[in-house]
Structure 1
Amino acid sequence: MDFLKAVIVEYFLIQVLIQDSKTWEVDLPQKVIGIQDSCVVIPCTFNYPGVEKQSNDITIIWYKYNGNSQYTEIYHKKKNLNALADKYILVGDSRKKDCSLKITNLQKTDEGYYHLRVEIAQLDAFSFITQAAYVSVSGKNLSHSSFKQLS
Structure 2
Amino acid sequence: LCCPVSCAEWEAEVIKKIEVLTTSCVVIPCSFEYPGVQKSHSQLRGIWYSGNARDKFIYHEDDTKIVENFKGRTKMVGDLGSKNCTLEIVEFKNHDAGPYCFRIEIPGGENFSYKDNCAQVFVTEKPEEPKLHYREKAYEGSPYAITCSVIHTCPSHMPELTWSRGGKEEVTTHYKSIGEGKWEVQSLLTFVPNEHDDDADITCAANFYGGMNSESKMNLRVK
Give aligned-pair identity as a percent: 33
Does residue 47 of structure 1 match 2:30? no
Secondary structure of 1:56's aligned partner: helix
Q: Distance in 1 between matches of 2:54 and 2:214?
A: 43
AA of the residue aligned to 1:56: S
Q: 1:65-144 residue pairs with structure 2 within 5 A? A: 65-66=51-52, 71-77=55-61, 79-81=62-64, 83=68, 84-141=70-127, 144=213
TM-score by length of 2: 0.53
Q: Distance in 1 between matches of 2:119 and 2:21?
A: 16
Q: Is there any run of 5+ residues in structure 2 with no aligned partner, and where?
A: 130-211
Does residue 34 of structure 1 match 2:20? yes
Q: Distance in 1 between matches of 2:97 and 2:214?
A: 28
Q: Show CA shifts across 1:80-138 (max 9, x none).
A: 23743421111111111110111111111011000110011232110111221000111
Secondary structure of 2:2's aligned partner: helix
Give, in angstroms, the shift of residue 26 of structure 1. 0.3
RMSD of the TM alignment (CA)?
A: 2.4
TM-score by length of 1: 0.76
Q: Distance in 1 between matches of 2:13 and 2:120?
A: 13
Does the 8 A contact of 1:37 with 1:140 survive in 2? no
Give, in angstroms, the shift of residue 53 of structure 1. 1.1
Tell me which protein shows more strand as a share of its residues: 2
Q: Comparing 80-89 with 100-109, which one deviates more in the overlay?
A: 80-89
- Alpha-carbon spacing, 1:19–1:145, altered in 2? closer, same or farther (3 Å): closer
Q: 1:15-34 residue pairs with structure 2 within 5 A? A: 15=2, 18-34=4-20
Q: Distance in 2 between matches of 1:30 and 1:128?
A: 13
Aligned residue pairs, count: 134
Q: Identify which of structures 1 and 2 has the higher relative contact order when contacts are C-alpha pairs closer than 8 Å and 6+ apart.
A: 1
Q: Distance in 1 between matches of 2:120 and 2:55?
A: 14
Q: Which of these two proteins has the greater Rg computed from alpha carbons?
A: 2
Tell me which protein shows more helix as a share of its residues: 1
1:8 is matched with none
AA of the residue aligned to 2:124: S
Q: Comparing 127-136 with 82-91, which one deviates more in the overlay?
A: 82-91
- Alpha-carbon spacing, 1:70–1:48, altered in 2? closer, same or farther (3 Å): closer
